[in-house]
Structure 1
Amino acid sequence: MTRPLLLVGQPLLAPLLPLLRTDHDVIALWETPASDQLRKVDALVWAGEFPLGRDLMDAMPRLTLIACFTVGYDGVDLPLARERGIAVAHAGNANAEDVADHAIGLMLAHRRWIVAGDRHLRAGAWTIESKMRTRSMNGARLGIVGMGAIGIAVAERAQAMKMKIGWWGPRPKSDLPWPRADDVAALARDSDILLVAARADERNRGMIDAAILDALGPDGLLVNVARGQLVDESALIAALRSGRLGGAALDVFDPEPTDPARWADLPNVVLTPHTGGATHEAVGRMAETLMANLAAHFAGLPLPSPVADMMLERG
């Protein structure tokens, strides 16, 4: 029996090769496969944040599935896939709880001066006179942009911390206990902390712009665990430099990896290198979901974790 042929797209997915080869024939894009090999590819395993070009899809006329190892799939041209009858799968909510933990951690790190305090102590600057006061989480107003799986998981954690929660998303959700703002600007004006947890696409690129940052204000904190492209990064840096925004805690950037020089002289930021969902446990769940999507597809069964068209929020 002929085994399905998979093309694996990025070197960062190389650890998956032994697992994938148990049930499939596998070739790697970074090893520059010949055009006749690409013509035989049945499914593409892809890291969804990377743009998937039309030229590559054109080279694979037998392609019937794009299986994103990641939760995100913003690099995939969904209309083109739909036009060609190509199914698209992703990792579902495999890392939502871990990203939510990271988001809360970024808030705590910035608001309670944990990272800066560590540096302050190590530099020998801690004296009786220099003792700092930080801001409590209890009673802080948290605005969440994008109330999908990650946004809900953060709200549940924040509620346990006695924070006041509001949110905005493109569609009302009657089953949520937290109030939905009229728009992002209104949410920012009513928040001490604005968390970006929305799914990214070309329609919401730069949605957190200078006007939203001004609405959040000089005491406000912007936290982003979604995609860097959702924030106008130049406007963010300008707002931080001028003091129009109180601070930022970021796990994602535009582009990635970010140039550290952009942030070198901004002391009011906490930065992590897109590690919010990168836990051993989440990656294990992502691998299990990938294998389940592939097995179901080639068995002619419904995908366990298909991409729903036109989704703007995570989850």
Structure 2
Amino acid sequence: MPDQARPAVLLTGPVMEEVVERQLSARFDLLPLEALSDATAGAVRAIATRGKGRVDEALMARLPNLKIVGNFGVGYDTVDAVAAARRGVIVTNTPDVLNEEVADLTLGLLLATVRQIPQADRFVRDGRWLKGAYPLGPTLRGRTVGILGMGRIGKAIARRLDAFGVPMVYHSRRQQPDVDRPYYASLLDMARDVSVLVVIVPGGAATRHLVDAAVLAALGPDGILINVARGTVVDEAALLAALQSGTLLAAGLDVFAQEPHVPEAFFGLDNAVLLPHVGSSTHHTRAAMGQLVVDNILAVLDGKDPLTPVAETPWPKA
């Protein structure tokens, strides 16, 4: 139980123990969510979260002295940032430090999917090469990639596609003045004109099932879907049906709607490459993300400006 003479940071789950918890423990008691009670709630000044459990208005209402929610990750759909803003609570996330890592993984997943790298690996391991050559497969040549979401990571992905000589177009909520690529106001229209769709938009209610059966059908039987955003952005049932029926060529997925629970139907598909949400999973990048969580919490609790407040937290304050 925390020492009531010291302020506390509430942890909704393990948050980069060797970076976040080690540094914060020097100044604050670290309070696991399951230890929160009426007796401990008043000590909580900050929440450190990485999407394990929802930080909603009900939780924040129990914490009268809460100042900041530090989210470990760019996506913060498990934090009710609107409710936090109403309460004067700052919400921060960890943008930029993971852009390049996620963009690298996206191109790796695209290549693994279109060139069937996991399938070819199994072909060798199973001894089937001794019986004949691996069948010819699809290619990136002649394809146009459509990026759904042209934020920081989307732009990093676009730079990598340039190096591969692959044409790129995009759809986002609004046209980006600094992006010199064809813009589509309609996702469905873009899906009709491309053969690869890369999904890199935030999760949450506004984007739930944005990629639905109609969008998948528009991609067509030569189409490839790459999702490195949130599993909820794609209608998984529609995606499974499209992969099983061949109305979509293949999918490369780093995220799932109910992860770590993945529908078992995916496991039997040879036209799907499945990853366990590892877009930013390197020691280097996770340490940088953890440090940004720490720096934001310390700044706010020391009366300074947050480094990376989210859009729902207008800053500087009027």
TM-score normalised according to structure 1 size: 0.93
- In 2, the alpha carbon distance for the partners of 1:28 and 1:17 equals 11
SS for the counterpart of 1:194 is: strand
Match in the other structure for 1:24: 28
C-alpha contact (below 8 Å) 2:56/2:83 kept by paired residues: no
Match in the other structure for 2:309: 306
Match in the other structure for 2:192: 189
- In 2, the alpha carbon distance for the partners of 1:198 and 1:33 equals 33
SS for the counterpart of 1:19 is: helix
C-alpha contact (below 8 Å) 1:137/1:162 kept by paired residues: no
1:252-271 equivalent positions in 2, closer than 5 A: 252-259=255-262, 261-271=264-274
Q: Deviation digits for residues 187-220 of structure 1, max 9, x if unmatched?
A: 1111111000011120110000000000001111
2:69 to 66, 69, 75: 66
- In 2, the alpha carbon distance for the partners of 1:284 and 1:259 equals 27
1:110 to 113, 117, 129: 113
Q: What percent of counterpart residues are identical?
A: 36
- In 2, the alpha carbon distance for the partners of 1:309 and 1:183 equals 25
C-alpha contact (below 8 Å) 2:145/2:169 kept by paired residues: yes
The answer on 1:223 being equivalent to 2:232 is no
Match in the other structure for 1:232: 235
- In 1, the alpha carbon distance for the partners of 2:209 and 2:203 equals 10
TM-score normalised according to structure 2 size: 0.92
C-alpha contact (below 8 Å) 2:172/2:185 kept by paired residues: no
Change (3 A) 1:279 1:33: same
SS for the counterpart of 1:151 is: helix
Match in the other structure for 1:82: 85
- In 1, the alpha carbon distance for the partners of 2:267 and 2:290 equals 36
Which ranges in structure 2 are unaligned for 5 or more consecutive residues? none
- In 1, the alpha carbon distance for the partners of 2:37 and 2:54 equals 21
CA RMSD of superposed structures (Å): 1.9
Deviation at 1:4, TM superposition (A): 3.4
Q: Deviation digits for residues 51-89 of structure 1, max 9, x if unmatched?
A: 223332121111111111222211111221111111101
Q: Deviation digits for residues 250-305 of structure 1, max 9, x if unmatched?
A: 00001011235231221100000001111111111111111210121022211111
Change (3 A) 1:284 1:14: closer
- In 1, the alpha carbon distance for the partners of 2:137 and 2:87 equals 55
C-alpha contact (below 8 Å) 2:12/2:52 kept by paired residues: no
C-alpha contact (below 8 Å) 1:49/1:73 kept by paired residues: no
- In 1, the alpha carbon distance for the partners of 2:52 and 2:156 equals 22
SS for the counterpart of 2:119 is: helix
Figure out how many residues of one structure are paired with residues of the other and give that number.
309
Q: Deviation digits for residues 16-74 of structure 1, max 9, x if unmatched?
A: 322211232221214x2332101221111111464223332121111111111222211
Deviates more, 1:157-166 or 1:56-65: 56-65
C-alpha contact (below 8 Å) 1:71/1:94 kept by paired residues: no
Misfit runs of 4+, over 6 Å: none
- In 2, the alpha carbon distance for the partners of 1:13 and 1:292 equals 14
